[in-house]
Amino acid sequence: MPENTVTLDDIFAIFRESEQQRKEYQQAFEERHRIVEQEMEALRKAIEQTNKQVGGLTSRWGEFVENMIKPAAARLFKEQGIDVHYTAMRVKGDGDRGSMEIDILVENTNEIVVIEVKSHLEIGNVKRFLKVLGRFKEAFPKYQNHKLYGAVAGIKIDEQANEYATQEGLYLIEPAGDSVIIANSQNLKRRVW
């Protein structure tokens, strides 16, 4: 037989070698896949933990801003002619159209001011808050006969949010030195709900 002749045994040997290489490749692939899955799971856990920490920080920052606004609220609204008998934070109400939580509530016997507090107040926040005011008396029926006013507050306030809040008749509360002020009281035509 000539030297270049391929026998059936040679073909079977090539198949066996090819099958062995395929198995080795498959094992290596499965091992890499297992390692990637472990790394992805570790990454998911790290992201979840980071989200919890950021959420906690955001929540605490929000509480800080609320705690800055609440003590000044009575003074601010007395200056606007609204006598204040009671101020509360994180007030919850339930109604037919769902529940809601109010950041700060200021009231007397016939008037109430609901304050939405954001660290960064944007126009979208103002639009959502207007919807909350529209549903407020459903979630808090005891205030059905009160005049309802709205206020938005923020540490950083976008110009569009400022203009829109004023246009919609909302008080705009912003930082001033070591306290806060109603920034739009001069040109505000306050809206009653």
Q: 106: part of which helix (H) or strand (E)? A: strand 98-107
Closest by CA to 86, choosing from 106, 68, 102, 56, is 106
Contacts of 61 (CB under 8 A, 6+ apart): 119
Contact 96, 138 (CB under 8 A): yes
Confidence of residue 58 (pLDDT cuts 50, 70, 90): low
Give the pLDDT of residue 143: 92
- Strand 86-95 relative to strand 98-107, pairing: antiparallel
* Region 128-157 average pLDDT: 93
Give the pLDDT of residue 56: 61
Confidence of residue 179 (pLDDT cuts 50, 70, 90): confident
**Is a pLDDT exceeding 80 seen at residue 112?**
yes
State how far the alpha carbon of 47 is from the alpha carbons of 56, 59, 62, 88, 151, in Å. 14, 18, 22, 35, 35
Which listed CATH number (3.40.980.10, 3.40.50.300, 3.30.450.40, 3.40.1350.10) goes with 72-182? 3.40.1350.10
| Region of 169 on the Ramachandran plot (φ > 0 left; ψ -120 to 50 alpha; else beta) | left
Higher pLDDT among residues 175 and 61, named by residue: 175
**Is a pLDDT exceeding 60 seen at residue 50?**
yes
* Region 87-106 average pLDDT: 87
% of the chain surpassing 70 pLDDT? 93
* Region 139-152 average pLDDT: 94
